Amino acid sequence: MPEWPRRIGEEMRQHLDDEYDALRAAGRSHEDAMAALEDDVASATPPAPRPVEEIRADLRYAIRSLRKHPAFTAVVLLTLGLGIGANAAIFSVVNAVLLRPLPYHDADRLVLIWGDLHRPGVNEIPTSAGEFADYRDRSHAFEHIAAYDTLGFNLTGSGDPERLEGAIVSASLFPLLGASAQIGRTFVNAEEQPGREQVVVLSHALWSRRFNADPAIVGQIVALDGRPVQVVGVMPASFHYPDAGVEIWKPMLLDADALSDDNRGSHGYTALARLKPGVTLAQAQADLASVTATFKAEHPGNYRSGFSARLRPLQEEIVGETARPLLILLGAVAVVLLIACANVSNLLLARAASRRREIALRTALGAGRGRLVRQLLTESVLVAIVGGAIGLVLASWGVDLLIAAAPDTIPRLGEVGVDRRVILFTAVVSLGTGLLFGIVPALRASATPPGDTLKDGGRSGATHGRAGRLLVIAEVALSLVLLVGAGLLVHSFARVQRVEPGFDATDLLTLRLSLPESRYTTFQKGEAFFDGLFTALRARPDVRAVAAANALPFSGVGGSRTFHIEGREPKRPEDQAEEQIRIVTGGYFETMRTPVAEGREFTDRDNSSAPRVAVVNEALARKHWPNESPIGKRVAFTRDEPQWYEIVGIVRNIKHAGLDGADRPELYVPYKQPLFASWTVRPMYIVVRAAADPLATAATVRHELARLDRDQPISDLRTMDARIGRSLAGRRFNMVLLAVFASLALTLAGIGIYGIAAYSVTERTHEIGVRLALGAQRRDVMVMIVRQGMTMTVIGAAIGIASALLLTRVMSSLLFGVSAADPVTFAAIPALLGAVAFVACYVPARRATRVDPLVALRTE
Amino acid sequence: MQYVKSRMLDRELKKGSAELLILSLVEDQPRHGYDLSKLIETRSDGVLKFRVASLYPLLYRLEKRGWIHGRWIEKAGQRRRRYYRLTPAGARVLASQRSTWKEFAAAINRIAGVEHA
């Protein structure tokens, strides 16, 4: 037993004995005296108020005290609303993109099956129809396996021709995803067979837009790529697969030809599978290994250089590359909120100083320290929760802005919104924020012994000063880290924008044309169409030049092919040359204004009756002919009976996938000299060099097209500038957001520095008065105040620079042409911060110089 | 609703006033608990009375805060008793509580118009 209960017990016993003696001495009977004592002991201390009552009282008190200081309350609520709102907004994106399960039944069991040829660049290749059939029929780890490929379709009849994004899919895809049609049905297995495959399922959006949500759509015939197909079903509005752009599904053809040995190497399908319940990824991987071992043995010719299948969770596949930038942004907003907390904390500290008398009075009236801390924390948590509610409102607007500004490379943006999880997150963040910024001021305020305060009239800001300065140093350090991060992104962006794409993007109009094979049955029919179109367009005054390519820069389209170089026989099959192949019409480089470094470019005379020619870019020339000119060398695309293409020109490198990408070797072949005799028409991009506004020229192109083929839709119509802008959208999005957060951080830090300097001037008015009275120069006073603020800034900046050097490494994958320790950024940002800090100190310092010594001294 | 608030203030007031009373009573000389309880009762003409179960814990708390200091003293033929005296810290608190009370009472007076006794 500790000492004190024994001691109190002894004192109480004595007290009762004394009282008994006194009562007896006063003539009371033994029973009477005992009853009086019982009474005294029984009615002990009054019961403490229940916690609920206490909290209610605290809340009411807090509301009253906040309403008494509307300016203070408004500043705090706004700061917190912005900080918490930014967090809620970014979190709602993270929630939708990364955290929420994909919108399919038991989505965590969905995996993609990729082929791996164990060579760089071919570690994740799609599946061929034959491989898909083997996976489906021989594996045991999966409930369902499906295959699909995205494809464009021309929808004609009933209104303007339209180019649709669609997919050809195995019948198993819909049951695999747990999806059924809203009207009609999805596909049956028999519809993977020839003659049965002329059926389609429509997306809800297409059905509403194109067919006015006609309830009798099922059974109707529509024209797809010039052929009649029957609509069998419409999917619900919530169904999207493989992505939100796909509007029509058609069965894939799994006939003998597709499954033949010849087509085993044509890896065109993505394979999606659903793991059986309880089967792990590793078990499924092992199961697939035995399936691939079997089919490799059966088809040795197709898998000479090794092959295996690898599994990847669908969720990871969809959100994989988006995760890092999003998490960096979430980290950045968290830092902004921390800075906001530091500012609010500082405000509360300053207010606690002016509330010291109120607190002293409450202490004198018997409120214990725990009680006071509870009271003060109730107030800050209340403020934080109201701030959180404001933040949630701001976030719901912010989310709309974010979605509008976000690049379409971020998946699942349509699912972003404020849901239960976002609200819960905001509530937890608000509560944590309230405790975080409230605890230090509450402990400080309640720690002051009441006697001291009441005596010195409520001055003594020393304790607040120290805590406040530490908070400001922390703010400066945090905002410097954010500013450096934003600075690095801005610097990278400027670098990327200065990259020469290898062509002149201004005044270029681009669009995609997919001539249907049903109508353009031979290569010559397609050739005639393009000749007619180009002749008509070249005659128009608003068209300077026109050409076409199968894959334009920044179109997202492209592809590689193996080829043979005359006189070089690769020793191993994997040593065979394989590069990006582009099929372009005559005058393509002139239209693009890509400089020809050597030789010549293609003309319309490079046709099927002329000798076959090719053009290479400098990267390809350097790679395959490092010590000689490739002009005059010959390449072919078939090994047996090779058709040789003589290299007649070298062009400058063109950035194809993005300005920040490496220069890839490219081999160009004339459109009119097709690689294979079996080729008919191919989807092509038309590129028009306009005389003026390229978008205005679009009308000319549509007009000429309609004159040639009324049913021919165009798609993907954009200016080249817009394409390049689009390729930079993700980078711009990250940069702008981080820059916004960093500016917010800088503003808050500036306010923090200003606050502490202004507070210090108020606190030291008396001291300043004395100094001035003793003959100090006003300049000295100013230097004193500015030096105090700048010392904090320098310390904070030093900590910030050290932290930034460590932290910016996580974003090195987002940088371009700039190191994570970029000296320019690391010099410019502290200078910017220093300038802001100086202004923040200078304003209060000016006020300090205007202190009238007489007035200052009289206030004592 | 108002009930809770006024009860709380009341309780704090009582607790605060108890501290003030004890500090004042040990200001001039050390006293033991029973002595203190009798003095409060008689000097207030019976209006204020301490329960035994609240007085001693309060003394313990005040001592723990360093405002009073207790010592066991044995006198011939009596049981030992614990005598409390005011510490310098207690003296400061007493001074401030006195001024607070004065302010408080004056404020109440200004509002309620109660005359000084």
A43 close contact with B: CB closer than 8 A:
yes
Q: What is the ipTM of this complex?
A: 0.79
C-beta atoms surrounding B89 within 10 Å: 15
Question: Smallest Cα–Cα separation from B80: which of A23, A5, A10?
Answer: A10
Nearest Cα of chain B lies from the Cα of A18 at a distance, in angstroms, of: 7
Token pair of A489 as six digits:
């992104």
Name chain A contacts of B13, Cβ cutoff 8 Å.
365-366
Q: Which residue of A has its CA nearest to B70?
A: A7
Chain Cα centroid distance, residue B78: 26
Tell me: pLDDT of A453 over 80: no
CA–CA separation, A815 and A491 (whole Å):
9
Test B57 with A8 for CB contact under 8 angstroms. yes
pTM, 2 dp? 0.70
pLDDT given for residue A48 in this prediction: 54
Name chain A contacts of B75, Cβ cutoff 8 Å.
none
A6 close contact with B: CB closer than 8 A:
no
Test A364 with B16 for CB contact under 8 angstroms. yes
Candidate from A5-14, A161-170, B92-101 with smallest mean pLDDT: A5-14
Express as a percent the part of chain A with pLDDT over 70.
93
- Which domains, and CATH codes, for chain B? 13-110 (1.10.10.10)
pLDDT per position as a tens digit, A333-392: 999 999 998 888 888 887 777 677 677 767 766 667 787 888 888 888 898 999 999 999
Nearest Cα of chain B lies from the Cα of A368 at a distance, in angstroms, of: 9
A605 close contact with B: CB closer than 8 A:
no
CA–CA separation, A220 and A241 (whole Å):
23
Average pLDDT of chain A to the nearest whole number: 86
Q: Is the dihedral of CA A696, A700, A705, A706 positive or negative?
A: positive
Nearest Cα of chain A lies from the Cα of B65 at a distance, in angstroms, of: 11
Test A366 with B11 for CB contact under 8 angstroms. yes
Structure-derived torsion over alpha carbons of residues A326, A332, A333, A339, reported in degrees to the nearest 10: 170
Test B54 with A4 for CB contact under 8 angstroms. no
SS3 label, residue A34: helix
Test A365 with B60 for CB contact under 8 angstroms. no
Q: Which helix (H) or strand (E) holds A596?
A: strand A596-599
Interface of B with A (CB under 8 A): 1, 4-5, 7-9, 11-16, 18-19, 32-34, 37, 51-57, 59-60, 79, 81-82, 89, 92-93, 95-97, 99-101, 104
User: To probe the interface with B, which of A61, A365, A375 has the most B CB atoms within 10 Å?
Assistant: A365
pLDDT per position as a tens digit, A793-803: 999 999 999 99
Tell me: pLDDT of A202 over 90: yes
Structure-derived torsion over alpha carbons of residues A815, A817, A820, A821, reported in degrees to the nearest 10: -160
pLDDT given for residue A306 in this prediction: 77
Tell me: pLDDT of A831 over 60: yes
Tell me: pLDDT of A206 over 90: yes
Test B96 with A41 for CB contact under 8 angstroms. no
User: Which residues pair with residue A688 across a beta bridge?
Assistant: A509, A546
- The owner of tokens 């697969």 is A241
Token pair of B21 as six digits:
């009373």
pLDDT per position as a tens digit, A270-305: 999 999 998 999 999 999 999 988 888 888 777 776
pLDDT grade for A574, boundaries at 50, 70 and 90: low
Question: Smallest Cα–Cα separation from A712: which of A165, A162, A208?
Answer: A162
pLDDT per position as a tens digit, A49-61: 567 777 888 888 8
pLDDT per position as a tens digit, A553-572: 998 888 778 888 998 887 76
CA–CA separation, A561 and A565 (whole Å):
13
Q: What is the interface size between A and B, counted as CB pairs within 8 Å?
A: 96
Test B51 with A60 for CB contact under 8 angstroms. no
Tell me: pLDDT of B95 over 50: yes
